Chains A and B, each alone.
Chain A
Amino acid sequence: MSLGVALCLALAVLSAWIAAAALWRLRTPLERLHAVTFVNVAGGGAVLLAAGLTDGLSPRVLKCAAIWLAILLIGALLGHVTGHALHIRDGERR
């Protein structure tokens, strides 16, 4: 059980570091948006899995699932809004 939690947490931390490196290295803001989505999906999922392995089915894990769901849905919407704002700001309206 502890090994599974450690692996999931390591995956979450690794995804955060990879996304931070991508945020540092990618050139355009629209490319950098992919790093945010990556950490939302991979990091949030890994943390939810680690929480489930730690607590079992508990209210805290259900809140973790709600957080992940909110992050995914709101993140998708905000990614669209951010891309739209960046396009208009850079004068690339389509």
Chain B
Amino acid sequence: MTGLWLAAALALLPPFALAVVASGRAALRFRLVAVQFATSLATLLLVALSFALDQPATIDLALILAVLTLPGTLLFALFQERWL
């Protein structure tokens, strides 16, 4: 069963890489959306890796990332709205 999860985690890597590249190199107004997309994919990726590597504790990383998305993206949105 862990092989399926590992394959899913590997298959999630190209969209994640696209989102990371877009969040760094796209036009400024697209970067905020790309960051959100990358964070969502990173959360799914961490969940998949937790099952693939059979490490139940690592799912806490995904939970923390999902919660910390809120202040991080709010701060980014504030900067983009006012100063960037």
Q: Which residues of A contact B (CB under 8 A)?
A: 2, 5-6, 9-10, 12-13, 16-17, 19-20, 23-24, 29, 32-33, 35-36, 39-40, 43-44, 47, 50-51, 54-55, 59-60, 63-64, 66-67, 70-71, 74-75, 77-79, 81-82, 84-86, 88-90
Contact = CB atoms under 8 A, between A and B. Distances in A.
B80 to A, nearest CB: 5
B67 A70 contact: yes
A26 to B, nearest CB: 10
Contacts of B59: 60, 63-64, 67
* Interface SS of chain A: helix
Q: Secondary structure at chain B's binding surface: helix, strand, loop or mixed?
A: helix
Contact of B56 (A5, A10, A60, A74): A60
Interface of B: 1, 4-5, 7-8, 11-12, 14-16, 18-19, 22, 29-30, 32-34, 36-37, 40-41, 43-44, 47-48, 50-51, 56, 59-60, 62-63, 66-67, 69-70, 73-74, 77-78, 80-81
A13 B43 contact: no
B75 to A, nearest CB: 10
B43 A67 contact: yes
Contacts, number: 139
30 contacts: A2-B1, A12-B8, A13-B8, A13-B11, A16-B11, A16-B41, A19-B15, A20-B14, A23-B34, A23-B37, A24-B18, A29-B32, A32-B33, A32-B34, A36-B33, A36-B36, A39-B44, A47-B44, A50-B8, A51-B51, A54-B5, A60-B50, A64-B59, A67-B47, A70-B66, A70-B67, A85-B77, A85-B78, A89-B29, A89-B81
